[in-house]
Amino acid sequence: AQKVTQAQTEISVVEKEDVTLDCVYETRDTTYYLFWYKQPPSGELVFLIRRNSFDEQNEISGRYSWNFQKSTSSFNFTITASQVVDSAVYFCALSGLFGNEKLTFGTGTRLTIIP
Amino acid sequence: DTGVSQDPRHKITKRGQNVTFRCDPISEHNRLYWYRQTLGQGPEFLTYFQNEAQLEKSRLLSDRFSAERPKGSFSTLEIQRTEQGDSAMYLCASSLVSSGDYNEQFFGPGTRLTVL
């Protein structure tokens, strides 16, 4: 069975601060994918990143960066110099391959950026 | 380039009534997924289609739920004899999956169901 844990239910930071969202996962698959999605107040899930289990390189995209550590089964997400528009619920998700591509989501972290 | 669309966006119904939701995926996508999201939770998988074939159904999908994708394009999700516990956001997603390649799922705006 697959499981994703996002222990932080809610986080509030002041604008321009950096913030890290934690994600820990469990899977028996040797090959899998990890994802982060953003759900703004409008409700639509927005894809942010996909990471293959074979690729442990960290990735940076503008103010966003992701730290994948297979040894600790974690896939953390950092927003640098946060902005009010970053306020949303962020979900970490996990999927397998070869017919097991359904997503298993965590319970989400609600991020509020205070102006 | 249009994304995933869902209709209706909101549905209010009385307990015991039947409801049907529609999802139109991104046109070239062969996979279509249905998820359900309740308040304060992440989406939970319900079922998925590869073209017109329904390949997996979650235990969450009771006998009152049925999904179809008759021509491998749009899909419908029907709930019969609705119960208050069915109140949730129903999300549709699509992706393109081919041999040796994997692509992320793109989600529609969802249909919010309220059962009174």
**pLDDT 10s digits, B26-46:** 998 999 999 999 999 999 999
What burial class does residue A16 get, using C-beta atoms within 10 Å of its C-beta: 0-12 exposed, 13-18 middle, 19+ buried?
exposed
pLDDT in tens, A63-82: 999 999 999 999 999 999 99
Neighbours of B116 (CB within 10 A): 10
For residue A47, list chain B residues with Cβ-Cβ distance below 8 A.
104-107
Confidence of residue A57 (pLDDT cuts 50, 70, 90): confident
Which ranges constitute the DSSP H helices of A30-100? Answer: none
Q: Which residue has the higher pLDDT, A55 or B65?
A: B65
Residue B100, pLDDT score: 62
Average pLDDT across chain B, whole number: 93
What is the C-alpha to C-alpha distance for residues B116 and B105, in angstroms, rounded to an integer? 32
* The pairing of beta strand A109-114 with beta strand A10-14: parallel
Taking an 8 Å cut-off on Cβ atoms, the answer to whether B45 and A43 are in contact is: no
Mutate to test the interface with A, among B92, B107, B113 (most CBs of A within 10 A): B107
What is the C-alpha to C-alpha distance for residues A87 and A77, in angstroms, rounded to an integer? 14
Taking an 8 Å cut-off on Cβ atoms, the answer to whether B42 and A107 are in contact is: yes
What is the C-alpha to C-alpha distance for residues B82 and B66, in angstroms, rounded to an integer? 12
What is the C-alpha to C-alpha distance for residues B40 and B33, in angstroms, rounded to an integer? 21
Residue B16, pLDDT score: 97
Residue B110, pLDDT score: 96
Inform me whether the pLDDT recorded for B99 exceeds 70.
no
Residue of B nearest to A4 (CA): B42
Provide the shortest C-alpha distance from residue B29 to chain A (in Å).
14
Average pLDDT across chain A, whole number: 93
Residue A58, pLDDT score: 83
